Structure 1
Amino acid sequence: MDLQELVNAHQSRLSDTEREILAFMLNNEEFVADSTISALAHRTFTSTSSIIRLTKKLGFSGFAELKFFVKNSLAGPTTPPIDFLESGRNDILTTYEGLMATDFTPIVQKIDTARTIYCYGTGFAQRTAIQEFSKSLLTCGKFTHVIPASTEFRGSIGVMKPEDLVIIASLSGETESALPTVRALASRKVPMIAITALGVNSISAVAEHALHYESTPTVTSIHTEPFHSFVTLSVLLDHIVRQYIQYLDLKEKDS
């Protein structure tokens, strides 16, 4: 997906000012790829807060992730991996590039101040990764509640409050069983961190923060369906824990 397709997918949710910003971006993608948020605000006669709101409407965690998306789309389609092993390596490198372009400060602050952290994975692999993530946060002194299935996720809406935090891991970000619950939580102003594969999706679009991992579908001789590795999801979740530990260390030094 490129920037034009991204705009098309969100046209109905955009204000006139946001459409004007995007019109400039579509005509100046090279500038956006190397710009700062202040420079873009200056060129579009808007404010940095307007651009931040726009990036979140488009499903990104912030301007840095939008820049990364534009830069990748300008590079065009990448050469297919040489082999199955190379595909895994590329996925990890792409995931890390996105993580390095993300400001984790508001995310770890939200983890630190949340009354209760609810974690939910939409599939078996995502649930397994989320469970390990929960154990890692426990070693940091942060207790989380792992939700085991979609029915429990839906049934928890009434107890989740704005002072809590919901972390949801998905592949496509379009899991039909989860979408009504996610939208209900958004309407109740319950903070959410969406963790999905790269690309624009419905869950990321309504979450307060969105993080992405790369998982290239690969056809193998022993699978009838494309194979998705979730190693990069584990890498991303591990990075969140490391960012949180670093945040706690700095917080203790400053106190």
Structure 2
Amino acid sequence: MIDKKQVSKLYSAARLSDAERSVLEYLLNNIGTLGDAGIKAVAAACFTSMTTVIRLSKKLGYKGYREMMYDLRHLQRASRGISQSLRGSDVHFACRDEGVDIFIAALHQNRIIGINGEGFSRIVAQYMTTKLIGLSFIAVLQDFLETDQFVGANQSTLGCMMLVSKSGQTEAILETARACRESGITTLTFTGNNDSELAKIADAVFTVHDDYPMDLKNFRPNCFTGNCILAFEELLSMCLDNLKQEGLTS
């Protein structure tokens, strides 16, 4: 069950009142069993007014109560689909179903794959680049080139950009992500923070477990870097299996 801290983090931008946050928490925890419950029933269950429920839907950007309920049910089904597909498996990432499809499609293009990571994440970026080149993909590490040099100069040939950032807030990586978005270049992100600015910009987000999210300088023992490499290998395996099925590789 989602708790108050999670609700506050996920919907902080909406500036919800205590009553509105309580209603949202109730909906998120019970959406699967509410069926066609109307606004009056939800308000009664939360010991609040129908006006509060309507105000909540407006603050979350919906036209009304029914649209909010429809979207929350959709999100629950998507979340359940992901967890079921990962249950009992050894994958080291979480993503929405379309994320894997975007990864596969990006590699199918057989165009230049740009890769970037800063600090310890550069280790992952270098590994990705070497691995892809070894598999005959055209992969280029952004390395020390400025964003305008790298993205601007290769705009017409870049098929996608893979970005690695533990926090998802590294400014150099964000700059590249923004430039890719403006240029229409697909962005694939490996991060420990799926609520980060980078995650909001990217076309596909692969969330990797981060043992110590607040350890920004990576002083403490952490499996994030290793798990990123494992996640990449797992995605690559899915991609190669798909390519084989289509007869595009041996």
Give the Cα–Cα distance (whole angstroms) in 1 for the partners of residues 133 and 179 of structure 2.
28
Find the partner of 2:101 among 99, 105, 109.
105
Residue aligning to 1:28? 27
CA distance in 1, matches of 2:125, 2:108: 18
SS of aligned partner of 1:156: helix
C-alpha separation in 2, matches of 1:205 and 1:28 = 24
Equivalent pairs: percent with the same residue?
Answer: 12
3-state SS in 2 of match to 1:227? coil
Closer, same or farther in 2 for the Cα pair 1:44/1:193, shift >3 Å? farther
1:167-186 aligned within 5 A: 167-186=162-181
| 1:4-40 Cα distance to aligned partner (Å, 9 max, x none) | 321214x49xxxxxxxxx99864422345899xxxxx
Deviation at 1:172, TM superposition (A): 0.3
Distance change >3 Å, CA 116–CA 3, structure 1 → 2: farther
Report which structure shows greater RCO (CA 8 Å, sep ≥6). Answer: 1
Between structures 1 and 2, the one with greater helix share? 1
The question of whether the paired residues in 1 share the 8 Å contact of 2:112 and 2:138 is answered with yes
User: SS of the residue aligned with 2:140?
Assistant: strand
Name structure 2 gaps, 5 residues minimum.
16-20, 35-64, 84-88
Match of 1:64 in 2: 79
What letter corresponds to residue 213 of structure 1 in structure 2?
V
SS of structure 1 residue aligned to 2:195: coil
2:239 is the alignment partner of 1:244: yes
**Length, aligned pairs only:** 198
Normalised to the residue count of structure 2, the TM-score between the two structures is 0.63
Identify the residue that residue 7 of structure 2 maps to in structure 1.
3
Say whether the 8 Å CA contact 1:218–1:228 is kept in structure 2: no
1:24 to 1:103, Cα distance in 2 relative to 1, 3 A:
farther
1:33 and 1:113, CA in 2 relative to 1: closer, same or farther beyond 3 A? farther
The answer to whether the Cα contact below 8 Å between 1:133 and 1:241 also exists between their aligned partners in 2 is no
Runs of 5+ unmatched residues, structure 1: 13-21, 36-42, 56-61, 69-91
Deviation at 1:121, TM superposition (A): 1.1
TM-score by length of 1: 0.62
* Larger Rg computed on CA atoms: 2
